[in-house]
A = this chain, B = another copy of it.
Amino acid sequence: MIFRQLFDHESYTYTYLLADEATREAIIIDPVLSQVENNLRLINELTLKLIAAVDTHVHADHITALDALRNSTDCQTWLGNPGEVQCVDHALEDQAVMHIGKLQLKVIYTPGHTDDSYCFYLQQNNAPMLFTGDTLLIRGTGRTDFQNGDAGQLFDSLHQKILTLPKQTRVFPGHDYKGWHESTLAEEIAHNPRLAITARDDFIKHMSTLDLPNPKMMDIAVPANRTCGKQPG
């Protein structure tokens, strides 16, 4: 497998490029519009064929590159919640499997941060990989106070779906603000303060008291991302 984690310095977003080394078919997860040229350069230099671009959810902090990548590569675009986001080629469904050559990424519906949040799980013998978007962050979780976020749902997604995966699973989040690039489920279970809250009601109460400012780009990013980042004109 070819695997690259990429970073957008402006929005602190991690983008992931995964490819089957033999067939050269590739998928990109959570691409950022301002990084499209960089993404296309890397895909080209690694002689990959991008077959899919997928977002873990409709982001509020950056504009997605789904539309731009589709226009440049003829890749398919995938995203959950097709009722609101009709621009994508395929709607993600819980437990579906995305095939990229021999790679299989299982789709896990994990509402809570938003109502359209999904995680992607790559089964591998010793070190499975989980792309968590904003559902599970390193030593944190996404917030739950907009885009139909729901703290109770996030608690259920984390405890009933994510934490039932193997403990050695490598965790690759959508963001990190302290410069950490990855974690494991075992590590998060041991040291993530939000996972240490084991009662659902306590978690809901905790999340309701955060009083966070809205993301800077929210008013621009959310509408733009509902058209897959298609630019006007």
Most B CB contacts (10 A, CB to CB) among A12, A46, A179 go to A179
Which of A2-10, A76-84, A99-107, A211-219 faces chain B? A2-10
A35 within 8 A of B: yes
Chain B residue with the shortest CB-CB distance to A37: B178
Min CB gap A1→B, angstroms: 12
A181 — which chain B residues lie within 8 A by C-beta?
Answer: 4-7, 181
Bound CA span A182–B180, Å: 15
In the complex, what residue of chain B is closest to A176 when comparing beta carbons?
B7
Interface residues on A, range: 20 to 34
Contact call B46/A178, Cβ cutoff below 8 A: no
Q: Quick one: which of A92-124 are within 8 Å of B by CB?
A: none
A42 adjacent to chain B (CB < 8 Å): yes
- The verdict on A191 contacting chain B, using a C-beta distance below 8 Å, is yes
B190 touches A9 (CB 8 A): no
Which residues of A (177-211) have their CB < 8 Å from a CB of B? 178-182, 187, 190-191
Distance (Å) between the CB of A191 and the closest chain B CB? 5
A181 to chain B, nearest CB (A): 5
Establish whether residues A6 and B187, one from each chain, have CB atoms under 8 Å apart when the complex forms. Answer: no
Q: How far is the CA of A8 from the CA of B178 in the complex (A)?
A: 8
- Nearest B residue to A180 by beta-carbon distance? B6
Chain A 1-42 per-residue mask, 1 if CB under 8 angstroms from chain B, else 0: 000111111001000000000000000000000010010001
Task: Mark A39-67 against chain B: 1 for CB-CB distance below 8 A, else 0.
Answer: 00010011000000000000000000000
| Residue from B6, B182, B190 in contact with A179 in the complex, judged by beta carbons closer than 8 Å | B6
The residues of B that contact A187 with a CB separation of less than 8 Å are 45-46
Point out the residues of chain B lying under 8 angstroms from A38, CB to CB.
178-180
A45 nearest in chain B by CB position: B191
Between A and B, 24 residue pairs with Cβ closer than 8 Å are A4-B180, A4-B181, A4-B182, A5-B181, A6-B179, A6-B180, A6-B181, A7-B7, A7-B179, A7-B181, A8-B179, A9-B9, A9-B12, A9-B179, A35-B179, A38-B178, A38-B179, A38-B180, A42-B180, A45-B187, A45-B190, A45-B191, A46-B187, A181-B181
